[in-house]
Amino acid sequence: MTKLVGSIDQGTSSSRFLVFDVSGKVITSHQVEYTNSYPEPGWVQKSPEEILSSVNESIDECLSKLDKAGYSASDIVSVGITNQRETTIAWDSETGEPLYDAIIWNDTRTRDVVQKLHAKEGASDIQSLCGLPITTYFSATKMVWMLENVPCIKAAQEKGTLRFGNVDTWLIYKLTGKYITDVTNASRTMLMDINSLKWSKQLCEFFGIDEAFLPEIRSSSEVYGNINVGGLSGIPIAGDLGDQQAATVGQLCFQPGEAKNTYGTGCFMLFNTGASPIFSKNGLLTTVAYQLGPNEKPAYALEGSIAVAGSAIQWLRDKLGIINSAPEINVLAESVKDNGGVYFVTAFSGLFAPHWRDDARACIVGLTQYANRGHIARATLESVCFQTKDILDAMDADSGDKLKVLRVDGGMTNSDIAMQIQADVLGIKVVRPEMKETTAFGAAIAAGLAVGFWKDKADVLSQTKSKDFYPNITEEQRAEMLKGWKRAIEKSLNSA
């Protein structure tokens, strides 16, 4: 009987369930898309129940496909979860019902909270404890806002029934009844000590979050509990990784010095720094990359985050109507030989690493009557590539060594022109693996290792085929492009 492993991939705009065999091949999958709500400028939120229902629907539909393919749900030995990180949910332990919409990771409503926290005694110690700067991005500031602005959450705190969690915790709670998170998700809250991998008393006191309302922190690969609802009943959830860490595992970046970049709604580069955290002097985040077993040592990473990547393409499609479908951007971008002097700083939610400027706003600069839709399309792709270059420069400075190869994954990597631009801008080789589902595969690896589906990391069969992109411009051309980008960045600042 063929054994399989399942993976829940809960993202910012969709939920998916995928089933892998031992070779890493996707047997079948199903995706359910949804839209977030934007009730005020800078606010991004979604019903936790709708997130859960999209996951359940993706599982049900995938299991139906699996049955038609000649397999059974009973062939699945374990399930992993990977999720949008920092997105924060509050619910009541007595009812199990959410107390407010999930505040999505790129929501910026907490700017005032951040300013107050920066002025608070002890603020200068925060990053050395958790590896993260105080910004609107991470979970703790969202928790503070909820406690200050949502009366029923404050009431649940006083009653002792409040539960806070990121999306992984919410899903595991609803699927198994267990209240847990893993070290990678906990490392995105600003509440976990980055060295001890435990909730920090000092950090919890600083933010005013009682540890009693936080889940138990576990490793990324172990059995957390059996699913007790739906077609997967009785099957253990045994893997849990934030989406970017899952992609790092799925790209098999197990050695210090290896790096990957995932191009999704946002864009996230992780650089494996090994068994010890490195604290950035150049605007990067220190995070846990993975801990593949309760008795295994954790691996740490430097991370650079770009708030807007694929969502800029959606904006061109849905708000400007320049394209009718996402792939059309490639045709438009290829219709021009360069950007025509047009630069698009996609700072819809401010600028993340390494700038960390929440006063930045999106702007398109360099427009002349010569510019057309093709130039704007190309500038949109280039904006992600330029921001990746900013992050890579910071990583090279922090690590003391220059990265030679960047492994890439995510929806935007399907664009050959985007990946060629990326290689040109970085001046290094860009490798796109044949295995496209690296994020979901990373969660599957964690879940499979926990139950012996794979014996160890060396037993995980990698996909060796890839398409490589090499730089195809001169240093002078690259320098000129980057000069224009830096001017455009300056234009975007002090705009909020």
In a domain, 158, yes or no: yes
| Residue 166 CB partners (closer than 8 Å, separation 6+) | 83, 85, 86, 87, 88, 89, 139, 181, 185, 188, 189, 242
pTM metric for this prediction: 0.84
Alpha-carbon span 6 to 75, nearest angstrom? 10
CB 383 within 8 A of CB 345: yes
Provide the CATH number for the domain around residue 74. 3.30.420.40
Single-letter amino acid code for the residue at 425: V
CA angle 408, 411, 413 (to 5 degrees): 40
Residue 312 resides in a domain: no
For residue 164, report the phi and psi dihedrals to the nearest 5 degrees: -105, 145
For residue 288, being part of any structural domain is answered with: no
Domain assignment present for residue 106? The answer is yes
Q: Token pair 């397999």 is at which residue? A: 71
Mean pLDDT by 10 residues, the chain (496 residues): 91 94 92 92 94 96 95 96 96 96 94 94 93 93 97 96 97 97 97 97 96 97 96 97 94 87 87 90 91 95 87 92 93 96 93 86 96 96 95 87 86 93 96 87 96 86 76 96 96 89
* Number of separate domains in the chain: 1
- Give the separation between CA 465 and CA 128, rounded to whole angstroms: 40
- Alpha helix (H) residue ranges in 335-412: 373-399
> Is 119 within a domain?
yes
Q: According to the model, what pLDDT value does residue 149 have?
A: 97
Please check whether residue 236 lies inside any domain of the structure: yes
Backbone angles phi, psi at 312, to 5 degrees: -70, -35
Q: What angle do CA 110, 288, 246 make, to 5 degrees?
A: 95
Distance CA(264)–CA(411), nearest Å, equals 6
Q: Which long-range contacts (CB under 8 A, 24 or more apart) does 356-359 make?
A: 356/133, 356/135, 356/283, 357/493, 358/108, 358/111, 358/114, 358/135, 358/136, 358/496, 359/493, 359/494, 359/495, 359/496
Examine residue 117 and state whether it is found in any structural domain, yes or no.
Answer: yes
Query: Is residue 165, in this structure, part of any structural domain at all?
Result: yes
Residue of 45, 102, 298 lying closest to 186 (CA atoms): 298
pLDDT of residue 213: 96
What's the domain range around 135?
4-250
Both tokens assigned to 4: 């399989």
**CA 214, CA 34: separation in Å to the nearest integer?**
28
Report d(CA 85, CA 221) in Å as an integer: 17
Strand order in the sheet with 45-46: 45-46, 102-103, 88-92, 162-166
Alpha-helix runs per DSSP H in 237-356 = 243-250, 310-315, 328-334
* Residue 24 near residue 15 (C-beta atoms within 8 A): no
Query: What pLDDT score does 335 carry?
Result: 96
* pLDDT of the residue at 461: 61
Q: Which among 389, 448, 399, 446 is positioned nearest to 421, based on CA atoms?
A: 389
Pairing of strands 405-409, 45-46: unpaired
